[in-house]
Amino acid sequence: MSEQKYDSYFLMKVDDVASYVQTKLSFFPKNANFECKEIGDGNLNYVFRVKDKNTGKSIIVKQAGTSLRIDKNMHLPVDRGKIESRILGIQKEYTKDLVPEVYLYDTVMCAMIMEDMVKHTMMRTGLTEHKTFPRFAEDISTFLVNSLLLSSDIVKNHKEKKNLVKEFINPDLCEITEDLVFTEPYNDCNNRNKIFPPNLEYVQKNLYEDKKLHLEVAKLKFEFLNNAQSLLHGDLHTGSIFINQNHTFVFDPEFAFYGPMGYDIGNVIANLFFAWCNGDATIDDDEEKDKFCSYILDTIEKSVDLFNDKFDKSFKENVTDRMAKTDQFMEYYHDTILADSAGYTGLELIRRIAGMAKVIDITNIKDEKKRVRAERILITFGKETILDRNKFKNGSDYIKAFKDIVARF
Ligand code: SR1
Ligand code: MG
């Protein structure tokens, strides 16, 4: 094991991490028999699992590099994990066991050491293997209501909340979202959109040339920029969730900042639709396909409806602001969040098809015709959830609109 002191930053290799953990924590016994693996498959950071083969205990080390994994020419501040470790602590207070525990954030090595989510799978991986997760709607609706409502001005002391807004100013990560989600899919202004070639013309006509759509996207972009409503996860897709049959972990909130609640909610909804398209395009057996795709639609419907129920219940129990207790304010406020959620669902759907950062649910569809169809369904549905966002109030509103569009392709 190396004799490093870890007193100045360098990017660790798999051989460094066991000694690093031993230097920083007394989590493992001195005579541990280590096995280390790099397990990260995200776009930004390096993630290692360190395991003691004697005891079976394991831990995760996540380190930021100066350039991004997705593109070595893209750079971010190397201390970005600080915000992530801080929000994981806050979200744990609000959502208890739905968030993994952080043991340490090291400001020198820019690395976080955290609980290993053993016996959980990354949700996107599980869904692309067409596994189903019966607890998801229940858990994610609790996570969303608790993390979003309890960090908002509805509940939090306004001065404390303003201090958090300040602490969570996250300009570099937000800039990525502003560009990749809210700008480039509508014009390719930075020449880095990756579009499936058979859909180039479709994207040109339906996204780049649709001025009415651009206006609604601009409104949602400025809502994202200016509405410091709640402490958001900021990148709540199915790659930020580890799950099994009995439990859900939400992690990887490095894009956290104070923004509109609907952004997190919309990201969850959109990523479930990607899973539906993957199942629809890649499962051969009709019965199996129907079972998986029905599970996804049912989960979307339940997630939205449970969110609605839990939101109102928590609002009534936890509201502190005197004027927010005014008759009908809750209904008004809730409605604005639902419209935002639909709009941001559409933005996430569209950016994963027309933008730079893809999802394997779609890129793994090998049959060209089926991928073309899946992408067109998602673009069309995404446009509808943006343009008609006020009509999406319940889970069934999403399911009905989606089924109508699927029937047209
Ligand atoms: C340049 S980073 C691309 C994407 O990966 C992250 O997970 C975010 O979704 C970001 O937009
Ligand atoms: Mg991530």
> What CATH number is given to the structural domain containing 278?
3.90.1200.10
Pocket test for ligand 1, best of 73, 180, 182, 183 (most atoms within 8 A of CB): 180
> Can you tell me which atom of ligand 1 is nearest the CA of 70?
1
Clarify whether residues 98 and 126 are in a common domain: no
Q: What share of the chain is helix, strand, coil (3-state, %, to 5)?
A: 55, 10, 35
CA distance 295 to 326: 39
> Can you tell me which atom of ligand 1 is nearest the CA of 255?
8
Clarify whether residues 24 and 137 are in a common domain: no
What residues contact 248, with CB distance under 8 A and at least 6 apart? 98, 133, 135, 136, 139, 140, 143, 241, 242
Measuring from atom 11 of ligand 1, which residue has the nearest CA?
177
Q: Are 204 and 354 in contact (CB under 8 A)?
A: no
> Can you tell me which atom of ligand 1 is nearest the CA of 44?
2
Clarify whether residues 228 and 368 are in a common domain: yes
CA distance 110 to 17: 13
Per-residue model confidence (pLDDT) at position 283:
98
Picking from 187, 229, 123, 128, the residue whose alpha carbon sits closest to that of residue 351 is 187
Per-residue model confidence (pLDDT) at position 144:
98
Clarify whether residues 199 and 267 are in a common domain: yes
Per-residue model confidence (pLDDT) at position 256:
98
Going by the DSSP 8-state scheme, the letter that residue 67 receives in this structure is B
pLDDT, block means (10 residues), the chain with 409 residues: 80 96 97 95 92 97 91 91 96 97 97 97 98 98 98 98 98 97 98 98 98 99 98 98 98 97 99 98 98 98 98 98 98 98 99 98 98 98 98 98 98
Per-residue model confidence (pLDDT) at position 134:
98
Domain of residue 71 covers 3-115
What residues contact 407, with CB distance under 8 A and at least 6 apart? none
CA distance 124 to 112: 23
Output the domain CATH number for residue 59.
3.30.200.20
Clarify whether residues 161 and 271 are in a common domain: yes
Per-residue model confidence (pLDDT) at position 2:
56
Reduced to 3 states (helix: H, G, I; strand: E, B; else coil), residue 243 is strand
Clarify whether residues 91 and 130 are in a common domain: no
Give the ligand whose atoms come closest to the C-alpha of residue 267.
1
Question: Which of the listed residues 83, 115, 147 is the one where a domain comes to its end?
Answer: 115
- The CA distances from residue 251 to 33, 135, 163, 290, in Å, are 28, 17, 23, 30
Picking from 117, 120, 102, 110, the residue whose alpha carbon sits closest to that of residue 25 is 102
What residues contact 42, with CB distance under 8 A and at least 6 apart? 69, 239, 252
324 Cβ below 6 A of ligand 1: no
What residues contact 57, with CB distance under 8 A and at least 6 apart? 27, 28, 51
Per-residue model confidence (pLDDT) at position 113:
98
- Quote the number of domains for the chain: 2
Per-residue model confidence (pLDDT) at position 3:
61
Clarify whether residues 205 and 103 are in a common domain: no
Q: Are 142 and 55 in contact (CB under 8 A)?
A: no
Clarify whether residues 147 and 249 are in a common domain: yes
Q: Is 402 exposed, middle or buried (0-12, 13-18, 19+ CB in 10 A)?
A: buried
Clarify whether residues 26 and 149 are in a common domain: no
Clarify whether residues 281 and 358 are in a common domain: yes
CA atoms within 13 A on the CB side of 74: 17
Q: Are 233 and 147 in contact (CB under 8 A)?
A: yes
244 is written with which tokens? 């099994």
Residue type for position 214: H
CA distance 6 to 106: 10
68 Cβ below 6 A of ligand 1: yes
Residue type for position 393: K
CA distance 130 to 301: 18
Question: Which of the listed residues 86, 115, 144 is the one where a domain comes to its end?
Answer: 115
Reduced to 3 states (helix: H, G, I; strand: E, B; else coil), residue 377 is helix
Measuring from atom 4 of ligand 1, which residue has the nearest CA?
357
CA distance 179 to 284: 37
Phi, psi for 50 (deg, rounded to 5): -115, 125
Reduced to 3 states (helix: H, G, I; strand: E, B; else coil), residue 160 is helix
Per-residue model confidence (pLDDT) at position 4:
73
- The CA distances from residue 74 to 47, 69, 102, 186, 236, in Å, are 19, 9, 27, 21, 22
CA distance 348 to 237: 9
Clarify whether residues 108 and 158 are in a common domain: no
70 Cβ below 6 A of ligand 1: yes
Per-residue model confidence (pLDDT) at position 21:
97
Clarify whether residues 64 and 157 are in a common domain: no
Q: Quick one: which H or E segment has residue 10?
A: none
> Can you tell me which atom of ligand 1 is nearest the CA of 68?
1
Give the ligand whose atoms come closest to the C-alpha of residue 179.
1
Question: Which of the listed residues 56, 86, 115 is the one where a domain comes to its end?
Answer: 115
Report the predicted TM-score, pTM, of the whole model to 2 decimal places: 0.97
**CB neighbours (10 Å) of residue 404?**
12
Picking from 364, 303, 308, 297, the residue whose alpha carbon sits closest to that of residue 331 is 308
212 is written with which tokens? 């009415």
Q: Are 192 and 358 in contact (CB under 8 A)?
A: no
Per-residue model confidence (pLDDT) at position 69:
86
Measuring from atom 9 of ligand 1, which residue has the nearest CA?
235
> Can you tell me which atom of ligand 1 is nearest the CA of 237?
9
Q: Are 61 and 47 in contact (CB under 8 A)?
A: yes
